[in-house]
Amino acid sequence: MPGGLRKLIASWPAARQLQGRDPLGLGAAAKSAHTDALRARTDAADRVVGSVCPYCAVGCAQLIYVKDDKVTQIEGDPASPVSRGRLCPKGSASEQLVNSATREYKVKYRRPHGTRWEELSLDQAMDMIADRVIATRDATWEERDEDKDVTLKRTLGFAHLGGATLDNEENYLLKKLYTALGAIQIENQARI
Ligand code: SF4
């Protein structure tokens, strides 16, 4: 049999299954050359950075794979006692949080009765929020109770509900700020 034909037949999965060390065809015998040449994105990373999934209060540990200063892949960190290398579908897809073409980089605002989103600068948005906080605090401030017996010094006009991405230090500052403003309903989801 010509060498080329023998080589071709030997490359067929059934021949590799019969001749090699994979008689049940569950591994190497069933693998195509194309599959064999595939490499994981993680192989090409320049560095790996430890992080925490930002999506919920479980706080699963992540390994962020970076190439040319761009995030290329996010995996679970097996060293974590919390998640032991696992990520749920949300955490597994968090690479898209960084790289998705639909990620927003501008503040979007839809004014009352508006029918479309407007783009605002961050400075303008922050000023608008501050104006609303001050106006609400002034309009809803309670110095004393109805009988004027008890000092309250509070507002029920706004509250704070933080997200899972907040860490201890940010929550410390948020609690200070909102308590100083007179809010009493201050909560967050963060457990990180
Ligand atoms: S991977 Fe899933 S369970 Fe873990 S922190 Fe992220 S969202 Fe929560």
For residue 30, report the distance from its CA to the centre of ligand 1, in Å: 35
Q: If you take atom 4 of ligand 1, which residue's CA is the nearest one?
A: 60
Counting atoms of ligand 1 from 1, which one is nearest the CA of 62?
1
Q: For residue 175, what are the CA distances in angstroms to 55, 161, 162, 180? A: 21, 11, 10, 8
The share of the chain scoring above pLDDT 70, in percent, equals 98
Q: What is the average pLDDT value for the chain, to the nearest integer?
A: 91
Name residues contacting ligand 1 (CB within 6 A): 53, 55-56, 58-60, 83, 87-88, 90-91
pTM: 0.67
**pLDDT score, position 131:** 98
Class of 47-99 in CATH:
alpha beta
For a ligand 1 pocket test, name from 51, 52, 58 the mutation site with the most ligand atoms within 8 angstroms of its C-beta: 58
For residue 56, report the distance from its CA to the centre of ligand 1, in Å: 5
**pLDDT score, position 25:** 86
The residue ranges of every structural domain in the chain are 3-37, 47-99
Q: Assess contact for 159 and 174: CB atoms under 8 A.
A: no
Q: For residue 106, what are the CA distances in angstroms to 1, 109, 111, 124, 160? A: 68, 10, 16, 12, 23
**pLDDT score, position 192:** 57
Whole-number Å distance between alpha carbons of 97 and 102: 9
Residue ranges in the chain whose pLDDT is less than 50: none
Q: If you take atom 8 of ligand 1, which residue's CA is the nearest one?
A: 56
For residue 178, report the distance from its CA to the centre of ligand 1, in Å: 28
Which residues, at least 6 apart from 137, have a Cβ–Cβ distance to it below 8 Å? 155, 157, 158, 181, 182
Whole-number Å distance between alpha carbons of 44 and 66: 9
